[in-house]
Chains A and B, each alone.
Chain A
Amino acid sequence: MGKHNISMTINGESVSAEVDSRLLLVHFIRENLSLTGTHIGCDTSNCGACTIMLDGKSVKSCTYLAVRADGAEITTIEGVAAEGTNSHLQQAFHDQHGLHCGFCTPGMIIRCMDLLKTNPNPTEKEIRWGISGNLCRCTGYNNIVKSVQQAATEMAKEKEASV
């Protein structure tokens, strides 16, 4: 089996490792780097629990080889806000009760970051379609939609204040 030296930036830190060709990125993140906030819920790219930010785009890391991420810049849930603080999305999920068991939450938040980057002011329908690659079995999605709406509003306010 082939071995490869890879290096990438994860949550602002450089990491290098020798990995098997077949190692999935999600296992590299969870097991080699012990960043267990990224979860595994299926192995067919359907549930989105493994979603990470890779070079500015949300990616399902359960069907992405670690070697393919060589040179990439990755953000996992552990890196979306400074220790002990909340991003607008994290705060909104807390305020709007957008999580129950918390298992889908990291992937959902990363996906929503991407959604709000490409569409800062989404309608309810756009939010629902925007998160349709991420399954949540607990919340019934109503409050996730509200969380994204709150975050969008807060981010717009912040943007306005900064100009």
Chain B
Amino acid sequence: MFKCKTSAEVGGMGHSVKRKEDARFLHGKGNYVDDTKLPGQLTMVMVRSPYAYAKIKSINKEKALAIPGVLAVITGYDLKEFNLHWMPTLLSDTQMVLPTDTVMHQSQEVCAVIATDRYVAVDGAEAVEVDYEPMQAIVDPFKALDADAPLLRPDKEGQEDNQIYHWERGDRAKTDDVIAKADVVVKERIYLPRIHVASIETCGCNASYDKDTQKLTVYLTTQAPHAIRTVVALVAGHVGLSEEKIRVIAPDIGGGFGGKVPVYPAYVVAIAATFLIGKPVKWIEDRSENLVNGFARDYHMDCELAATKEGKIQAFKVSTLADHGYTDSSANPSKYPTGMFSICTGSYDYEHAFAELDAVYTNKAPGGVAYRCSFRVTEAVHAIERMVDKLAAKIEKDPAQLRFENFIKKEQFPYESPLGWSYDSGDYKQTLEKAMDMIGYDDYKKEQAEKRAQGKLMGIGICTFTEVVGAGPSKDFDILGIAMFDSAEIRVHPTGKALARFGTKSQGQGHETTYAQILAEELGIPYSDIEIDEGDTDTAPYGLGTYASRSTPTAGAAAAMAARKLKDKGKKIAAHLLEVSEEDIEWEVGKYFVKGAPEKSKTIQDVAFAAYTNIPPGMEPGFEATHYYDPPNLTFPNGAYICVVEVEEETGAIDVKRFVAIDDCGNIINPMIVEGQVHGGLTQGIAPAMYEGIEYDDEGNVLNGTFMDYLVPTAVESPHWETGHTITPSPHHPLGAKGVAESPTVGAPPAIANAIIDALYPLGIKHLDIPITPAKVWEAIQEAKATS
């Protein structure tokens, strides 16, 4: 277990210190984008398409412009004059900022109304007359590749059908061969539906261009302010917005979860509008715009898992169809169009695997972004964890036992996975054992046998996942060519207090506390004496931002490395102050002392003061350090989750009785915050497992685009989570830490699905896709009864 090196006052790693950022939020003084009020600010509202696929015959602005207070209506033709009507997506596809002739999904931005007041802007949007000629939309991705399917993207040179790309990893022939010869093969088509992060704060911006200084300042709901600044410079450089004149400020962010990584068209329109008008333009998305214009998941996965009759896994194959909507705007690294999907071989030791994926265009909103997991790990984990449970059911082996028999063993790390990952560390057996002890697995197995004998439906579901987070290394990972490192800059002031700035951006993760704790751990300066600043591209060092559980693996490591540079400089200063040679100086947290004479010492604060007041001859003054950390590998957090459910046969109602989550994220900076992250992620795990899914009708209309029908779990649906952890430090991270916030969202859905399907096992039900709603369960029960 982790032993704290610092006192509670210093508050280094392992201390559950309370959050430094809380006060402003508790008192209503948080500063979110919609709270910004700039002098002369105008409001922008988007006119959106009612059709999923239509020609735009005309847009008539007249009636809108006649409304007092409506100042402008901006169309694709207006942007085309400046060549700003299209923009690149994060995966080098192209996306309309505003259309000139065709709309490609329901709710796509058609034009923008700028007015003096938000109510007048809405009146203006209502008054814009758009004449559409609707066309037959492609909604079903399986039909997108039909020979007679209309070509959705004729604008793309060389695009002859609706396939975006084919991707594959592994040895197809060998995997097929092993599967063909195996004793046991289980197969399933598993669908992970479209879902939306639905952070309680929607997206928005307040863009302000000063014609005198030629400087653009954008307050933006973004998780990656620097990357956005560079993208804006790339998109709009030709009209004079060069990068040194662009300042992106991500103020307080009301939840991100990946939904605030992309550049949305309205951001670009607001920037164009302020550039043309010279007054600040604010755009704040409403809830329906938010829910309908982005998504995560939407993978149809055909899975095959082969094993010996005893249950030794031999091979895994997965062929996926991915519905990307009308453009591929996935927020994935360039060389990894399917993100880290090839982690799909899971926590198990076997040799053969093959994964392939075809991505297609449909008339749906673009996205493929994230839902508290950017890089397709949730899809991968759901596939393998459902299939392992199917295998257990098929050979009638306890699913925990089957996992124990197939786990990668502790001594096999670093483990080279069949599809090319190098897992850094883990002790899967210990983690699952801990979860089983905590929940009382054996007792529940007995209870289940008794309940089944009485005809009651009770299920126990397990998920033992391996996550992969913390991109870079930059040799493999980039976003639009920008290497995925991250940064920290520390300034220790003469009085021994500090300011540290980062290239990441907290959206509730508690960086103002945890980064200060990392620096407290390394330097011995109390965490309460360290201010943390992020999100302003004019002041923060360049970084790729916060998503995919990357902040601790990258910027957290950068903080430690920058602090170590300071410690090295401090050693020279201490030697000067103590009049000994540098080799005679030793360090314990917060203090340098003379070897063998611990009474002769200088605190880090003494040394910081000397760095400005009593500088050793020849040394550069000041006590500051910066580090850009390029990780040597990703980190591989993991966990064992167990869920117990009861299902009511008459109604299909599902009652989650218990849920235990044991996470291993290596060394822990703040246990209170890690536990909080796990709780939140678990609720975002039960959400897609049982409640959420964006539904479309055959014409491409979204059927549940509000919070009245897109069911975000309340405190009633969210179980009382029980959590714990094991610790296997990452061997390559300077603090031994790994990311954590995504893990629960990745691990919870298969645990819940496995539990519900286990409950329904006596009825002969072998699989259900998430969200597993009471209605879906009830229908499956009726069908099972009818066929039995």
Contacts and interface: CB of A to CB of B under 8 A. Distances in A.
A141 B224 CA distance: 27
B26 A94 contact: yes
B200 A78 contact: no
B205 to A, nearest CB: 16
A97 B673 contact: yes
B603 to A, nearest CB: 30
Nearest to B23: A94
Contact of A97 (B19, B197, B256, B707): B19
A140 interface: yes
A137 B716 contact: no
Nearest to A145: B715
B716 A132 contact: yes
B716 A128 contact: yes
Contacts of A20: 119
B718 interface: yes
B287 interface: yes
B118 interface: yes
A135 B19 contact: no
Contacts of A38: 28
Interface in B231-265: 252-257
A37 B28 contact: yes
Contact of A132 (B34, B256, B714): B714
Interface in A69-90: 76-78, 81, 86, 90
B119 A131 contact: no
B155 to A, nearest CB: 34
A43 B118 CA distance: 14
Interface in B192-231: 197-202
A135 B18 contact: no
A103 B707 contact: no
A21 to B, nearest CB: 11
Contacts of A134: 714
A93 B24 CA distance: 12
A67 interface: no
A163 B507 CA distance: 44
Contacts of B708: 44, 46
A67 B672 CA distance: 44
Interface stretch (A2-10, A104-112, A153-161): A104-112
B602 interface: no
A136 B22 CA distance: 16
A141 to B, nearest CB: 4
B1 to A, nearest CB: 21
B30 A102 contact: yes
Contacts of B119: 20, 22-23
B26 A99 contact: yes
A77 B446 CA distance: 50
Interface string A20-31: 101100010010
Of B254, B256, B507, B675, the most chain A CB neighbours within 10 A belong to: B254
Question: Chain A interface secondary structure, helix, strand, loop or mixed?
Answer: loop
Interface string A45-60: 0110100000000000
Contacts of B199: 101, 103, 137
Contact of B28 (A23, A78, A145): A78
Q: Which of A22, A102, A103 has the most CB of B within 10 A?
A: A102
Given A37-B27, A46-B707, A138-B255, A97 B672 contact: yes
Interface in B709-757: 712, 714-716, 718, 720-721
B715 A128 contact: yes
Q: Report the contact-size class of chain A (Cβ under 8 Å from the partner).
A: 35 or more
A114 B780 CA distance: 42
A103 B680 contact: no
Interface string A98-127: 011111111001000000000000001001
B683 interface: yes
**Most chain B C-beta atoms within 10 Å of own C-beta, residue among A39, A100, A124:** A100
B679 A140 contact: yes
B200 A94 contact: no
B508 A100 contact: yes
A16 interface: no
B679 A143 contact: yes
A57 to B, nearest CB: 19
Contacts of B35: 30, 36
B117 to A, nearest CB: 9
B32 A137 contact: no
A94 B23 CA distance: 8
Given A44-B708, A95-B18, A105-B26, A141 B508 contact: no
Residue from B26, B34, B681 whose CB has the most chain A CB atoms within 10 Å: B26
B287 A139 contact: no
Contact of B201 (A77, A78, A103): A103
A141 B715 contact: yes
B3 interface: no
A101 B198 CA distance: 13
Contacts of A151: none
B255 A103 contact: yes
The 10 closest A-B pairs by CB, nearest first: A37-B28, A102-B25, A103-B254, A101-B508, A140-B679, A100-B508, A77-B28, A46-B707, A140-B683, A36-B35
Given A40-B34, A106-B25, 18 more contacts: A20-B119, A27-B118, A39-B254, A41-B201, A41-B287, A46-B706, A49-B200, A90-B26, A94-B19, A97-B19, A97-B676, A100-B510, A101-B200, A102-B254, A128-B718, A139-B683, A142-B720, A142-B721
Interface of B: 18-19, 21-32, 34-35, 37, 118-119, 197-202, 252-257, 284, 286-287, 507-510, 672-673, 675-684, 706-708, 712, 714-716, 718, 720-721
